[in-house]
Structure 1
Amino acid sequence: MVAALLLVVAMGVFQLGLALYVRNTLISAASEGARYGARADVEPTDGAERTRALVTSALSASFAGDVKAARSITASGVRVVEVRVSAPLPLIGPVGPSGGLTVSGRAFSEEQVLAGGAE
């Protein structure tokens, strides 16, 4: 009885560690993709592709299914590139409900709007 309880607790801790590893890896990949997409010579979609490649190489292609990138302007007038990743939250091993985990990475775009409105 005690061994079964200990096994359940150990598996729960392992699963929590796996979920945190997946989350941290997705955040890192999204941030790196946003930095890549914020360069002046590339488009934000290139950042999304970079994020997909990083997630696929670190985790699995199943975690890289929904990656979106967009260029936006913040309330203070700063252009940023945001890469958003929606992936399954691993509940039983690497399997879980799709879209259960959404993370994003942002980076300042190298193409900023000048104070006078000219680019």
Structure 2
Amino acid sequence: MCGRRWIRDDGSAVVEFILVAVLLTALTLAVLQLGLALHVRNTVIDAAAEGARFAALADNGPADGVARTKELITVAIGRDYADGVTAESGTFRGHPSVDIRVVTRLPLLGLIGVDNALEVSGHAAVETLDE
């Protein structure tokens, strides 16, 4: 009598569906999270490069580049990601340049993530009015 109970497979399709659905849902969420992390990374890289180009203009300085970078990050991602923006003037291959560095959060679960885990920088040659 006990052997007959194991021969029948009533309800096995429901269990198989649930197991496959859980696996596919986890895979889909992982791909979406990877896409979000890459979006944040690319947005911060672009903002740092744009801030460096803005700071390198003839009538601007490093503080202007920091403000521009913070503005771009705040509009695109959020204010929490725009806290660690710094700028410094220096030289790159013998030419004056501006370096904008952004240290921010790397999202691991939605927009929640590890603080100071993502560090990017943007460089631009300083523009002068000399002829």
Give the drift of 1:15. Answer: 0.2
| 8 A Cα contact 1:79 1:111, kept in partner | no
1:6 equivalent in alignment to 2:21: no
Greater percentage in helix: 2
1:83 aligned counterpart, secondary structure? strand
| 8 A Cα contact 1:80 1:106, kept in partner | yes
For normalisation by structure 2, the TM-score amounts to: 0.82
CA distance in 2 between partners of 1:100 and 1:94 (Å): 13
Task: Return the match for 2:114 from 82, 93, 97.
Answer: 97
Decide which structure has the larger Cα Rg and report it: 2
| 8 A Cα contact 1:45 1:70, kept in partner | no
For normalisation by structure 1, the TM-score amounts to: 0.90
Gaps of 5+ in 1: 115-119
Residues 40-91 of structure 1 show CA distances to partners (whole Å, capped at 9, x for unaligned) of: 21111110110000000011000001000111112x3111111011110000
2:38 aligned counterpart, secondary structure? helix
RMSD: 1.4
Instruction: Please identify runs of 4+ aligned residues in structure 1 that moved more than 6 A.
Output: none
1:67 aligned counterpart, secondary structure? strand
Task: Return the match for 1:88 from 79, 101, 105.
Answer: 105
Aligned pairs for 1:1-119 (under 5 A) are 1-74=19-92, 76-111=93-128
Aligned residues: 112
> Which letter does structure 1 place at the counterpart of 2:121?
S
Greater percentage in strand: 2
